[in-house]
């Protein structure tokens, strides 16, 4: 039995989907434990591209169970669309493969509207998927959970009480149109009918799986620097993205977790607003964006690009307890003459080797760089570590020294096979 948690070590989009897909081969269950359809996890399988927002990235394997855990905020409309598309493409033929926690909270249309309208004021650069407002309701204890849909009267009561508040807020404060009760009520009862077969007590199912010695892969969304507590607040998402939340977000005890695998991109990207010390607003950043296809998988927004920042990844290593790292998108750096790594920040004449909490300090941080020679050659076909050019190996070694963790998986292309596995976290 092994439980492996996969988390992003930067600002999301590190390539978690690809790594989850790769490791699902050795797993029995793949579990999403936080976030919602703000996530966009891409898998490329023999040239065919899949983007998952809610369905765990293990779904392409027949027979592997995929769980949407209690910590997720679930938009039924997005999920139904994803299910439909997958089925049309000839995947996900067995409905037993997917399970949705009864305790997951629902995203309702007013969450999305509030999210988008509030962006005019707060300018976080959210995905507009209603994530923040849905988690707010969960914490305020007025959220509507998946299980509530099963009791029509309870659902009616909760929706009525919520709509009263939300419509007042929408109309009076945000100057938006209100929602009609009947529209949402009927739509969501229809969603219940369509999704009913997937709704389960997933915590108990996971406990049973643990008891039977199954292998479980926890699929984190977003990244550590987007964590509500440990990220660049307020420019973060509304959930804890760190490995510790795999337990709360799925109902699995911390004592069951064996390995935390951090996913790090060989450079850095960020979508939305907020500090990003190594950002390159020049042709070098543009080259990364073009070579790496750095456009949001959920919103299509161009991702901001910059050099690898060892300070933030080191922060992620410590917060999550990561000892093993999957380093992705190494091939994107193939054509760079020189490659830089940020090893610390210069702030008001002082040098800082850890991330600050103060947003103003974050924003004035100037990166201190080490410069390395590029390898100037194609590495996509590399199958083993020794196939990599010397300068690529040097780059990896230097990153390992700086972040104090071992690079155990090296991704050199978007396909499942374009990966060098030095150590499999499931021990296979």
The rounded distance, in Å, linking the Cα atoms of 67 and 54 is: 10
Interaction between residue 219 and ligand IMO (CB under 6 A)? no
Q: Which does 311 bind (CB under 5 to 8 A by kind): Mg ion, ligand IMO, ligand GDP, none?
A: none
Report which DSSP code applies to 301.
Answer: P
Q: Which does 411 bind (CB under 5 to 8 A by kind): ligand IMO, ligand GDP, Mg ion, none?
A: ligand GDP
The rounded distance, in Å, linking the Cα atoms of 407 and 263 is: 10
Q: Which does 379 bind (CB under 5 to 8 A by kind): Mg ion, ligand GDP, ligand IMO, none?
A: none
Nearest to ligand GDP of 8, 344 (CB atom) = 8
Nearest to ligand IMO of 127, 328 (CB atom) = 127
Nearest to ligand GDP of 285, 344 (CB atom) = 285
Interaction between residue 58 and ligand IMO (CB under 6 A)? no
> Are the CB atoms for 319 and 230 separated by under 8 Å?
yes
* Site size for ligand IMO (CB under 6 A): 24
Nearest to ligand GDP of 293, 427 (CB atom) = 293
Q: Which does 331 bind (CB under 5 to 8 A by kind): Mg ion, ligand GDP, ligand IMO, none?
A: ligand GDP
* Interface pattern 124-143 for ligand IMO (x via CB under 6 A): xxxx-x-xx-----------
The rounded distance, in Å, linking the Cα atoms of 283 and 152 is: 56
The rounded distance, in Å, linking the Cα atoms of 425 and 428 is: 8
Q: Which does 18 bind (CB under 5 to 8 A by kind): ligand IMO, ligand GDP, Mg ion, none?
A: ligand GDP
Report the DSSP pairing between strands 304-306 and 48-52: unpaired
207 is catalytic: no
In the bound complex, what is the minimum distance in angstroms from residue 274's beta carbon to ligand IMO? 6
Given 21, 41, 75, 230, which residue is catalytic?
Answer: 41
Report the DSSP pairing between strands 406-411 and 419-421: antiparallel
Helix locations, 105-225, DSSP H? 109-122, 131-140, 152-168, 181-195, 202-211
Region near ligand IMO per CB under 6 A, out of 81-89, 99-107, 215-223, 367-375: 215-223
| Footprint on this chain of ligand GDP (rule: CB under 6 A) | 8, 12-18, 40-42, 44, 293, 297, 328-329, 331-332, 411-414
In the bound complex, what is the minimum distance in angstroms from residue 418's beta carbon to ligand IMO? 20
In the bound complex, what is the minimum distance in angstroms from residue 159's beta carbon to ligand IMO? 23
Nearest to Mg ion of 13, 309 (CB atom) = 13
Binding residues for ligand IMO restricted to 3-42, rule: CB under 6 A? 8, 11-13, 38-41
Please, which residues have CB within 8 angstroms of residue 214's CB and are 6 or more apart in sequence? 1, 28, 29
The rounded distance, in Å, linking the Cα atoms of 379 and 331 is: 6
Binding residues for ligand IMO restricted to 260-299, rule: CB under 6 A? 271-272, 297
Helix locations, 293-358, DSSP H? 310-320
The rounded distance, in Å, linking the Cα atoms of 209 and 424 is: 21
Cα 394 from chain centroid (whole Å): 29
Nearest to Mg ion of 162, 240 (CB atom) = 240
Nearest to ligand GDP of 12, 133 (CB atom) = 12
The rounded distance, in Å, linking the Cα atoms of 389 and 376 is: 9
The rounded distance, in Å, linking the Cα atoms of 185 and 149 is: 10
Q: Which does 414 bind (CB under 5 to 8 A by kind): Mg ion, ligand IMO, ligand GDP, none?
A: ligand GDP
41 is catalytic: yes
CA-CA-CA-CA dihedral for 132, 133, 139, 145, to nearest 10: -110
In the bound complex, what is the minimum distance in angstroms from residue 337's beta carbon to ligand IMO? 29
The rounded distance, in Å, linking the Cα atoms of 162 and 179 is: 11
In the bound complex, what is the minimum distance in angstroms from residue 40's beta carbon to Mg ion? 4
CA-based nearest residue to 232, from 362, 411, 329: 362
Within 13 Å and on the Cβ side, how many CA atoms surround 412? 22
The rounded distance, in Å, linking the Cα atoms of 21 and 120 is: 37
Residue 166: count other Cβ atoms within 10 Å of its Cβ. 24
Among 221, 264, 305, 420, indicate the residue that binds ligand IMO (CB under 6 A): 221
Query: Which residues contribute to the site for ligand IMO (CB under 6 A)?
Result: 8, 11-13, 38-41, 124-127, 129, 131-132, 221-223, 226, 237-238, 271-272, 297
| Active site (catalytic) residues | 13, 41
């Amino acid at each position: 039995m092994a439980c492996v948690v996969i988390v992003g070590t930067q600002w999301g989009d590190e390539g978690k989907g690809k790594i989850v897909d790769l490791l699902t081969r050795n797993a029995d269950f793949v579990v999403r434990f936080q976030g919602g359809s703000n996530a966009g996890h891409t898998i490329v399988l023999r040239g065919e591209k899949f983007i998952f927002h809610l369905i765990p990235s293990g779904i392409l394997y027949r027979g592997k169970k995929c769980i949407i855990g209690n910590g997720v905020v679930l938009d039924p409309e997005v999920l139904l669309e994803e299910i439909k598309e997958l089925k049309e493409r000839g995947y996900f033929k067995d409905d037993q493969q997917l399970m949705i926690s009864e305790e997951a909270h629902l995203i309702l249309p007013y969450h999305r509207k509030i999210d988008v309208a509030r962006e005019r004021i707060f300018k976080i650069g959210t995905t507009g998927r209603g994530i923040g407002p849905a988690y707010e309701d969960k914490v305020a204890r007025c959220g509507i959970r998946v299980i509530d849909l099963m009791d029509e009267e309870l659902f009616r009561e909760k929706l009525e009480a919520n709509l009263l508040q939300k419509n007042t807020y929408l109309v009076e404060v945000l100057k938006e149109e209100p929602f009609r009760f009947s529209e949402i009520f009927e739509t969501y009862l229809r969603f219940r009918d369509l999704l009913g077969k997937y709704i389960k007590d997933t915590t108990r199912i996971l406990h049973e799986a643990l008891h039977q010695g199954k292998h479980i892969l926890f699929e984190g969304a977003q990244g550590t620097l987007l964590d509500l507590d440990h990220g660049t607040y307020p420019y973060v998402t509304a959930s804890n993205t760190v490995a510790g939340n795999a337990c709360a977000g799925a109902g699995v005890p911390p004592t069951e977790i064996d390995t935390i695998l951090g996913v790090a991109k060989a450079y850095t990207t960020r979508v939305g607003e907020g500090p990003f010390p190594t950002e390159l607003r020049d042709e070098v950043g543009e080259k990364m964006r073009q070579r790496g296809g750095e456009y949001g998988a959920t919103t299509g927004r161009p991702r901001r690009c910059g050099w690898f920042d060892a300070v933030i990844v080191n922060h992620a290593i410590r917060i999550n307890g990561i000892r093993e790292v999957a380093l992705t998108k190494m091939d994107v750096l193939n054509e760079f003459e020189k490659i830089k790594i940020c090893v610390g920040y210069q702030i008001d004449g002082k040098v800082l080797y850890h991330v600050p909490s103060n947003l103003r300090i974050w924003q004035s941080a100037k990166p201190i760089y080490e410069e390395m020679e590029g390898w100037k050659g194609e590495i996509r076909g590399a199958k083993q570590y020794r196939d990599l050019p010397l300068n690529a190996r040097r780059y990896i070694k230097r990153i390992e020294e700086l972040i104090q963790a071992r690079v155990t998986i090296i991704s050199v292309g978007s396909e499942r096979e374009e990966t060098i596995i030095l150590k499999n976290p499931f021990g296979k």
